[in-house]
Amino acid sequence: MIDYKKKIRTIPDYPAKGIMFRDVTTLMSDADAFAAAIEDLCKPFTNMNVTKVAGIDARGFILGGAMAVRLGAGFLPLRKPGKLPYKTLKESYQLEYGSDELHMHTDGVEPGEHVLLVDDLIATGGTAEAGVKLLRRGQADIVSAVFLVDLPDLGGARRLRQIGIDVTSLISFTGS
């Protein structure tokens, strides 16, 4: 069994003093660890008729694309402004120092489609909640929100559960 925590590099004081940045690119660059992580992320959903995997820009694309292939599902990118060429729905969310938006094509999901929401990490949950709101506006049935890493002290997973979303993650890091 692979110890995923040992495969993730921690960078102190990035992007600001006091932050312990969890760099998942080191896990993704290890072929065996990456393949095992995709398999483990998919296991709970193999018999749940997932029709789409929605990946959050940008590392959620890497995980979500691989998971979609593994689950036999389509992939739906949830992108930053100005990146999608067709008509979009948009959802704003707050950041520590400002705001941002996620966009989804208006025809990205069909009503009732079984969708997994995927990103590399959940911290405060603002970006993931914006993804949930977009998918709900498209009338998707959100099966779960799935993350490689949870930072439980920042409350993002709890925030999603409070709005009725099941949350799954492979590992968690306590502390900042």
Kindly list the structural domains of the chain, giving each domain's residue range(s) and its CATH number in brackets, ordered by start: 48-172 (3.40.50.2020)
* pTM confidence score: 0.95
Q: pLDDT by residue (tens digit) across 57-112?
A: 999 999 999 999 999 999 999 999 999 999 999 999 987 677 899 999 999 999 99
> From the CB of residue 14, how many other CB atoms can be counted at a distance below 10 Å?
11
The DSSP result for 136-175, as a single string, is: HHTT-EEEEEEEEEE-GGG-HHHHHHHTT--EEEEEE---
pLDDT at residue number 110: 96
pLDDT at residue number 94: 86
Question: Among 66, 58, 57, 9, which residue's Cα sits nearest to residue 34?
Answer: 66
pLDDT band at 176 (very low <50, low <70, confident <90, very high): low
pLDDT at residue number 98: 78
Q: Which of 22, 59, 136, 159 is catalytic?
A: 59
Q: What is the CA radius of gyration of the chain?
A: 15
Respond yes or no: is residue 110 known to be catalytic.
Answer: no
Respond yes or no: is residue 96 known to be catalytic.
Answer: yes
Q: pLDDT by residue (tens digit) across 119-135?
A: 999 999 999 999 999 99
pLDDT at residue number 175: 73
Q: With H, G, I as helix, E, B as strand and everything else as coil, classify residue 104.
A: strand
Q: Which of 91, 96, 129, 158 is catalytic?
A: 96
Q: Is the pLDDT of residue 44 over 70?
A: yes
Give me the amino acid identity at 142: I
